[in-house]
């Protein structure tokens, strides 16, 4: 399967702990996105990478959040000092830069975070 | 970013055609219209995209009037497996895609 993969699929952590999520995009895609989705809401944009460069960050991405994409391949999203409000599904997506459907994003299955 | 408005929910019987309309009154010249489908506990999945007139693929049709201030996703002969949330997106850039709350479609046997 060559789709977008995310690890772990589920994470339960205690408030105040740090967590890190990994996303492996489709190999030929050089754009990578992170979203957060809470129950009953659509995904909210967090940040976006073009290769290894982080080009845009949402105001939702507080100082406790950091994302990296070393070497332009996989990406990690770290949340420091987790809070109960961080409980959500974290989605990763990737897209190519060429092709007729330029805005099509391929989403991974998500990582569900529960902060207790 | 153009804001979109969709019905919160819709019900349909199996085998019927379903039309979900999305309003985007302040769509910009460079904006495309894209629809995604999302099942519970899964990431969204691309359905169809268009700029104007009509686009059809193997799963849906997208109708866009000349003023582009709205669009309609048409799902022919829905089945129970089409029960999902459908999102209408309008954006002209690669970087940031804004999802609304979507339309929850419930297909009834």
Q: Is the dihedral of CA B100, A106, A45, A83 positive or negative?
A: positive
Q: Which pLDDT score, from 0 to 100, does residue A99 have?
A: 52
Q: Which of B43, B49, B100 sits opposite A93 (nearest CB)?
A: B43
Query: Which residue of chain B is at minimal alpha-carbon distance from A34?
Result: B96
Nearest partner of B36 among B78, B84, B107, B81, judged by Cα: B84
Q: For the purposes of burial, counting CB atoms within 10 Å of the CB of B29, is it exposed (0-12), middle (13-18) or buried (19 or more)?
A: exposed
User: Are A103 and B87 inside 8 Å of each other by CB?
Assistant: no
pLDDT in tens, B34-89: 999 999 989 999 999 999 989 999 999 999 999 999 999 999 999 999 999 999 98
**Residue A37: pLDDT band with limits 50, 70, 90:** very high
Query: Which residue of chain B is at minimal alpha-carbon distance from A105?
Result: B46
pLDDT in tens, A61-113: 889 999 999 988 999 999 999 999 999 999 999 988 755 455 688 999 999 99
Q: Which pLDDT score, from 0 to 100, does residue B96 have?
A: 66
B3–chain A Cβ distance below 8 A for any pair: no
Judge whether residue A12 has pLDDT over 90: yes
Distance, CA of A112 to CA of B41 (rounded, Å): 9
Percent of chain A at pLDDT above 90? 70
Residues of A with a Cβ under 8 Å from any B Cβ are 4, 31, 33, 35, 40-45, 48, 55-56, 58, 89, 91-93, 95, 97, 101-110, 112
User: Are B49 and A109 inside 8 Å of each other by CB?
Assistant: no
Q: Which pLDDT score, from 0 to 100, does residue A56 have?
A: 83
């Amino acid at each position: 399967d060559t789709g977008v993969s995310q690890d772990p699929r589920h994470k339960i952590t205690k408030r105040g702990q740090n967590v890190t999520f990994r996303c492996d995009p489709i190999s030929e895609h050089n754009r990578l996105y992170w979203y957060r989705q809470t129950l009953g809401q659509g995904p909210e944009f967090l940040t976006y990478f073009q290769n290894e460069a982080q080009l845009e960050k949402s105001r939702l991405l507080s100082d406790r959040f950091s994302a990296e994409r070393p070497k332009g391949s996989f990406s990690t999203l770290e949340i420091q000092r987790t809070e109960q409000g961080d409980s959500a599904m974290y989605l990763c997506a990737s897209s190519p830069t060429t092709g007729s459907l330029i805005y099509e994003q391929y989403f991974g299955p998500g990582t569900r975070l529960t902060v207790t | 970013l153009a804001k979109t408005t969709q019905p919160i929910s819709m019900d349909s019987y199996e085998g019927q055609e379903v039309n979900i309309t999305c309003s985007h009154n302040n769509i910009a010249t460079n904006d495309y219209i894209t629809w995604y489908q999302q099942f519970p506990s899964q990431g969204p999945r691309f359905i169809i995209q268009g700029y104007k007139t009509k686009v059809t693929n193997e799963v849906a049709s997208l109708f866009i009037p000349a003023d582009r201030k709205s669009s309609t996703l048409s799902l022919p002969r829905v089945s129970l497996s089409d029960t999902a949330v459908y999102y209408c997106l309008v954006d002209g850039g690669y970087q940031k895609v804004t999802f609304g709350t979507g339309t929850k479609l419930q297909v009834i046997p």
